[in-house]
Amino acid sequence: QVQLVESGGGLVQAGGSLRLSCAASGTIFSIDTLGWYRQAPGKQLEMVATISTSGSTNYADFVKGRFTISRDNAKNTVYLQMNSLKPEDTAVYYCNCWQVVLRRDYWGQGTQVTVSS
């Protein structure tokens, strides 16, 4: 029943910006922990940013100061604002929803982000 749909990916020049969105349905969004993860070709999935039910955020060191995660509970949407993009940011970005109470997690289909030089 839970569905996560990402959007906002695309091709951007190095130094540019992109905003990813993830719309959730079928879950009590306000009590879920949300996150963005990414996977580059041939690489392991890695955490980019998370945001808790209280709004506390955590970022991977490689995006700190450049990316911002936020959530709008009224819209059941989590965002990832990506600034100062680098070619190494190129990856498929996935939205994750962790149902804290039920201890289950769900993933979106992913959205491709490509940063060119």
pLDDT of residue 117: 94
pLDDT at 107: 97
- Scored b (16 or more CB within 10 A) or e, 30-55 reads eebbbbbbbeeeeeeeeebbbbebee
Q: Quick: pLDDT tens for 67-84.
A: 999 999 999 999 999 999
Measured over the CA atoms of residue 18, residue 81, residue 112 and residue 5, the dihedral's sign is negative
pLDDT of residue 82: 98
Give the chain's mean pLDDT. Answer: 96
Tokens in use for 61? 């060191």
Over residues 29-48, mean pLDDT: 96
pLDDT the model gives residue 1: 85
> What is the rounded radius of gyration, in angstroms, for the C-alpha atoms of the chain?
13
